[in-house]
Amino acid sequence: MNSLTNESFNLLERVCMRRIDIPNQEKVYVGKVIEFSRKQNNFTIDAIIDGICSKQTYYKLQKEPLSESEYYDQLLERVGLFYDYDSQNPISLDGLWNAFCEQEWSLFDQEIQGLKEQIMNPDVYQYVLSGAIQCIEQKQDIAYAKQLLPLLHDDLKEIVSYFVLWKIYESYVQYKEDASYLSLKTEINQCQYLFLLIKNEQYYDASVLCEKLLQSTKGKNHDLARIAKLFLLLAIQPEDFVTQCEWIQKNEQLTADSFHAYELLYVTGIFYYKQENYKKAWSYFIQLKDIPQFHIPVLLFLYHMETITSYVLDKHPIPDTTEKDMKVLLTYYEMKYKGDSLQELEKYLWTECRKVIQCFYPPELAQKIIQDELFWIAQQTGNKSRYYQFNKIDYSINT
């Protein structure tokens, strides 16, 4: 067979392999992607079906396959997407899934970057994958993720659920919505959900899940469950905290300089901070002030302890943060270290810092910080009216 014949044969083979219709088993999924994209673009149904199909047909294609692929093609074009009939090699997520399961986050980030480089065109599947990556990178809100998750296949849904849990944990003190839309099949997601239950003060459910995970997990997830139990004890059985902490230090082999080792330092520091044992709290927090994941809250607690103890830091950096509660309270310390007047500091505590008490976790720590700073100002000015007024207000609810 000569080269010209070979080339013709290969071309014919490619043409024959090209799909000329969307497979029936994919059509309902494509219909749901069209509806998702329509909502994200704020298009009305009337606008995208005009001249293509009826509303009845549009609703139908999200529930059962239609024989005419032209409907799908035209509707996809209206929302800026297309179905890639030529694609024979879908993007593999195996590397991302393995990195996630092993909690190898540096490798996970590399996999994400590799996937982003492979997303070239807005075809149906790459569009959904791009949305998932935006959720992983925290570039979309929870409402977006809630609509996207039903479109994701099992592994990717599990991964995105993990990062949605993170976003919920960092964004809300109380999150009472049903979380059934999230995928919690893996132990790492169950551990993440456990921390959310604790933060939401759902202590019974948290205790049941924590004991289950302590019995079933190994390695990193077991370490997470152990740390979660300390947070539980901190909230409901502080008298048992020290005993449990000592047991972990003696029996659990937490890797030095690992995230879980830092978590142990952090929760222990919080325990002594709440107990107002500032000498011990300082000794734990000072070890974490340069660790990125703990830098911001730890600095806030250290700055507060400078006000009420004789401990002094050499430097007072004010890190940037998008977390409103931390940003507002750190701005107060930025004003304080810049030398703003006592009157301005008191005004800022009263008008701005009080607003974020319920955004802080746990909220009583923010209340204590503001209370002590108002007392410090009162000592300088001799006027305790704001301090007394602050103490009369019930901050267990939004005020």
Of residues 309, 313, 312, 329, the one with CA closest to residue 321: 329
Average pLDDT over residues 351-371: 89
Average pLDDT over residues 324-331: 88
- Whether the Cβ atoms of residue 85 and residue 19 lie closer than 8 Å to each other: yes
Please, which residues have CB within 8 angstroms of residue 349's CB and are 6 or more apart in sequence? 332, 370, 373, 374, 377, 386
Q: What is the DSSP string of 191-243?
A: HHHHHHHHHTT-HHHHHHHHHHHHHH--HHHHHHHHHHHHHHHHHH-GGGHHH
pLDDT in tens, 194-241: 999 998 889 999 999 999 999 999 888 988 899 999 999 999 999 999
Average pLDDT over residues 133-149: 94
Average pLDDT over residues 129-150: 95
Q: In the structure encoding, which two tokens stand for residue 315, read together?
A: 């430097």
C-alpha–C-alpha distance, residues 1 and 313, integer Å: 82
pLDDT score, position 14:
42
pLDDT score, position 394:
81
pLDDT in tens, 5-55: 454 444 444 444 445 788 999 999 999 999 999 999 999 999 999 999 999
Query: Which is higher by pLDDT, 185 or 292?
Result: 185
DSSP secondary structure code for residue 353 in this structure: G
* Length of the chain in terms of residues written: 399
C-alpha–C-alpha distance, residues 8 and 14, integer Å: 10
C-alpha–C-alpha distance, residues 192 and 351, integer Å: 34
Average pLDDT over residues 71-78: 94
Q: How does residue 343 score in pLDDT terms, banded at 50, 70 and 90?
A: very high
C-alpha–C-alpha distance, residues 63 and 28, integer Å: 6
Q: Is 82 helix (H, G, I), strand (E, B) or coil?
A: strand
Average pLDDT over residues 132-159: 95
Q: What is the mean pLDDT of the chain?
A: 88
pLDDT tops 80 at residue 4: no
Average pLDDT over residues 379-385: 95
pLDDT tops 70 at residue 88: no
Q: How does residue 179 score in pLDDT terms, banded at 50, 70 and 90?
A: confident
Radius of gyration of the chain (CA): 27
Helix (H), strand (E) at residue 59? helix 55-60
C-alpha–C-alpha distance, residues 112 and 119, integer Å: 11
pLDDT score, position 173:
52
pLDDT in tens, 271-295: 999 999 999 999 999 999 999 889 9
pLDDT tops 90 at residue 178: no
Q: Is 365 helix (H, G, I), strand (E, B) or coil?
A: helix
Q: How does residue 253 score in pLDDT terms, banded at 50, 70 and 90?
A: low
Of residues 17, 125, 27, the one with CA closest to residue 67: 27
Of residues 76, 79, 57, 55, the one with CA closest to residue 67: 57
Q: Is 172 helix (H, G, I), strand (E, B) or coil?
A: coil
Average pLDDT over residues 346-352: 96
pLDDT score, position 398:
45
Unique residue bearing structure tokens 């659920």: 161
Of residues 385, 321, 387, 310, the one with CA closest to residue 359: 321
pLDDT score, position 154:
94
Does 297 sit behind a cis peptide bond, omega within 30 degrees of 0 on the bond before it?
no
pLDDT in tens, 117-129: 999 888 999 999 9
What CA–CA distances, in Å, run from 284 to 168, 271, 331, 365, 369?
27, 10, 24, 17, 18
Give the N- to C-terminal CA distance of the chain in Å, as an integer.
Answer: 85
Does 362 sit behind a cis peptide bond, omega within 30 degrees of 0 on the bond before it?
yes
pLDDT tops 70 at residue 396: no
pTM over 0.85: no
Q: In the structure encoding, which two tokens stand for residue 191, read together?
A: 């551990």
Average pLDDT over residues 249-255: 72
pLDDT tops 60 at residue 172: no
Beta-bridge partners for 82: 123
Percent helix, strand and coil across the chain, each rounded to 5? 70, 0, 30
120 phi/psi in degrees, rounded to 5: -105, -35
